[in-house]
Amino acid sequence: MKVVVTGGTGVIGRSAVRALVAAGHEVDVVCRSHTNTATVLGLGAQPRGGDLFDTAGLTRLYAEADAVVNLATAVPIGYQSALPHAWRRHDELRTRGVANVVAAARAAGVRRVVQESVSFLYADAGDAWITEDDSVEITSVTEPVAVGESHVQDYAGGFRSGVVLRFGSIIGDDPQTRFWLKAAGSGRPVGIGRPDQWSHLIHTDDLGSAVLAALSAPSGVYNVGAAPVLRGELVEGYAKAAGAPGGAFLGPVLRRLAGARIEPLSRSLRVSSERFSARTGWRPSRPTFDADWLDAADRAYAG
């Protein structure tokens, strides 16, 4: 296929571009800077100057594309996520950015749009399993993500396909993991919520293969990740990798200071990704969490 990727130089994007190129697809990546251009060339793809907020420009870039993959995001790292203003760029990308991608794809006659999303949209379900048929809980924090999903779902129909990938929290070779690993090594809290709650995760090694698999998925929303893990085990994994005696959770004062932004991250999410596996054949190469997931981040932190 001819695939055009936005957000192709981020954590998900780099992994996706590598996987798409390795599979033999012709991949263009929309870039705004010379630094990103060099990164894209190093991944084996073609950089194309453009901007997510220039719909006319995107329409030209999407001409003759078989699929558009939007992975553009701007999640603040570490404790910055507690600051409301830190999410402005992220929320704009999820709303106006996705709307522009979909509008340009429609104008260019693109047959398939793949959009990155997150599984913490779901309502807290305790110990119950969560599938794509279960309820989401929309708040002022999660609304931008839901808006982005709705644009892609509205796009699907007739000859057009719209695929939304609700990824679990990303762990592995990425800045967020390195931040939490450093925090764990310093004795600072890394756990959000309670030890007996569930987290839905995905390793960075499995991001690209999931995006590649989405090119053959029927239209719809899909959960994408490894087996859920109890938060207590996750926090202890960070402590073990950091050489700390034990892991800690955010206390009531920090939770209160974080406010509404932290609430979705504290939901108990025992999410199943079986539907995506059944419909595409995708399976994570890292199916269950353990401290080895943090090896790449540990090497970067130690360095």
Tell me: the pLDDT tens digits for 163-210?
999 999 999 999 999 999 999 999 999 998 999 999 999 999 999 999
Indicate the fold that domain 2-302 takes in CATH: Rossmann fold (3.40.50)
Which pLDDT band holds residue 258 (cuts at 50, 70, 90)?
low
CA–CA dist 145, 138 (Å, integer): 9
H/E element holding 203?
Answer: strand 201-203
Q: Identify which of 149, 211, 204, 200 has the alpha carbon closest to the alpha carbon of residue 177.
A: 204
What mean pLDDT comes out for the span 99-103? Answer: 98
What region, left, alpha or beta, does residue 126 occupy, with left being phi > 0 and alpha being psi -120 to 50 degrees? Answer: left
Q: How confident is the model at residue 301 (pLDDT cuts 50, 70, 90)?
A: low
- Distance between CA atoms of 199 and 196, rounded to whole angstroms? 10
Average pLDDT, the chain: 93
Residues linked to residue 249 through DSSP beta bridges, in sequence order: 191
Tokens of 56: 């006319």
Torsion of CA 159, 276, 238, 129, to 10 degrees: 120
Which residues are CB-contacts of 185 (< 8 A; sequence separation ≥ 6)? 242, 243, 244, 301
Work out the angle between the directed axes of helices 175-185 and 231-242 (0-180°, nearest 10). 70
pLDDT of res. 84:
67
- Residue 254 predicted with pLDDT over 90: no
The predicted structure's pLDDT at residue 34: 82
